[in-house]
Amino acid sequence: MFLFIITIIFFLLVVICTLLVLLKKEMKKTFSQEIAFNSLWKVQSVLLSTLKFEDVVQQITNVILKDINYINMGYVIVVLALVDKDQKNLRRIGISRTEEAEEFIKRYPKPFTDIEIPLDEIKNIGVQAIRKNKILVTSNVADVLYPTVDADFVRNLQQKVGLKTTIVFPVVSRNRKLGILIFSLKKDQSKISDIEWAVMRNYAGSVGIAVENSVLFEDVSKSNEALTDANKKLEDLDKLKDDFVSIASHELRTPMTAIRSYAWMALNKADTPLSSKMQKYLQRTLISTERLINLVNDMLNISRIESGRVAISPISFDMVTLVKDVLVEVEPKSKEKQLNLLITGPILIPKVFADPDKVREVLLNLIGNAMKFTLNGGSISMSFFTDGQMVETSVKDSGVGISKEDLSKLFLKFGRLDDSYVAAATSGGTGLGLYICKSLITLMRGKIWASSEGLGKGTTFTFSLPAATPQVLANEENYTIRVSSGEAKNLEPVAI
């Protein structure tokens, strides 16, 4: 009986010891997995903390050794080599900063960054790893350096440094073979644990993502720098263009004004009678000179607007009163073509908050256009609309109209339309007036557009400007534009 009890107790002790051993193994496995997970999390956090290529390369070759302490587990050298852009060579990019790595570099017969392995050199284990997309292991460091240096020299150097195992991981991202990651250890392959293999495999995957992101970032950065330089050059050229246009326009306008004056004097104040042929020539000279002066004025206005030398000084004013003043101003010209100028619809609208001088330029341009393209005996009407926030002013004529295909081409610089609105002008035109109108309206926080039912059915130009509401008046600075440098320039007068 006593012997039976002893046997039972012994059996129970064996079972308990076995359970304790199994529990210890499971706890060790769980602990190792936790270490591996924490290590990979730390690796990815460090690798993804920067996008600058040089910093990424240095992190790749150092983080696993120092940040997660692999250097104390026999891992002493990490090398990153990437495939060059021509897809012809495998070039060394980075190496870890350890004593062993520095010793290897110091004794190696050529600079580290000059080590390039042709991708058709199939005896090189790094090339094999890329081609096969497979992890390869060797005990001979010369296998990853072939054929750049003598194998015996490398073996002697390997022994001095104490390297026993070299592992080559292919670096891949999105099925793109980017290069290789090389681990050199001071221990045999048989002593590498499963956890270490798992960490290295996942580390190589993280390296692929980090390298690709940094390369893309570098490419984008270089493209941005090139675009910035190009934009700066374009801005300089644009400024030179504006300065040239301004100077040339001023220089042209002075002699053109003199020619126009002399032509007018010859036609109207001649001391001797002129033949009909001479009158015809002088009349053509006067008209052509006026057209050239108008072109010069428009180019000067555009140059001043685009170079930021036009100030916007908004005030609250009555749009209807301004329109009536402009109609009185153009009335003599309208009578020459027997045009009927009128205001239609409601005129009880809120005041507008804008620069009245610039609005007057817009009205003169739009009404002048309407007069050009409306046949004798036609009509031009002005109308208004408001939603309480914006005030719309429309100029409608009974003229030649615009095809629907050409409506989108309006308001462009030199926007002359073939077989349509501008081309029909008997007095010519620069194609700049509507562009100036849009530029001024935009500066005053408004919009401008055109509509037409087609050729021969007239055209309506409409522009909207902010109503002088309490909210707008309280934010006057938002609607004011001051010239940042130099003196503000006035716009040249619009010719009707």
487 pLDDT exceeds 80? no
pLDDT tens column, 387-423: 999 999 999 999 999 888 888 888 887 665 554 444 4
Q: CA 154, CA 79: separation in Å to the nearest integer?
A: 16
pLDDT tens column, 306-356: 877 888 999 999 999 999 999 999 999 899 899 999 998 778 899 999 999
Determine contact, residues 416/400, Cβ cutoff 8 Å.
Answer: no
Of 161, 164, 128, 162, the C-alpha closest to 144 is 128
For the chain, the farthest-separated pair of C-alpha atoms sits apart, in whole angstroms, at: 160
The pair of structure tokens assigned to 139 is 């005990």
44 pLDDT exceeds 80? no
Q: Domains in the chain, please, with CATH? A: 35-218 (3.30.450.40), 227-291 (no CATH), 311-479 (3.30.565.10)
Residue type, 74: G
Determine contact, residues 319/352, Cβ cutoff 8 Å.
Answer: yes
Q: For the residues of 74-87, what is the DSSP string, one character each? A: TEEEEEEEEE-TTS
Determine contact, residues 63/46, Cβ cutoff 8 Å.
Answer: yes
Q: CA 401, CA 457: separation in Å to the nearest integer?
A: 5
Q: Which H helix or E strand runs over 238?
A: helix 194-268
Q: CA 156, CA 145: separation in Å to the nearest integer?
A: 14
Find the mean pLDDT for residues 246-266: 78
Find all residues with CB under 8 Å of 415, minimum gap 6, and list them.
Answer: 409, 422, 431, 434, 435
221 pLDDT exceeds 80? no
Mean pLDDT, all residues of the chain: 81
Report the share of the chain in percent with pLDDT over 90. Answer: 33
pLDDT-based confidence at residue 93 (cuts at 50, 70, 90) = confident
The pair of structure tokens assigned to 144 is 């990853």
pLDDT tens column, 177-218: 889 999 999 999 999 988 888 888 888 888 887 788 777 777
Q: CA 420, CA 405: separation in Å to the nearest integer?
A: 10
Helical H runs in 48-124?
53-62, 99-107
Chain centroid to Cα 200, Å, comes to 39
Q: CA 12, CA 301: separation in Å to the nearest integer?
A: 105
Helical H runs in 86-146?
99-107, 125-132, 142-145
pLDDT tens column, 441-461: 999 999 999 999 888 889 999
Q: CA 317, CA 349: separation in Å to the nearest integer?
A: 11
Determine contact, residues 165/185, Cβ cutoff 8 Å.
Answer: yes
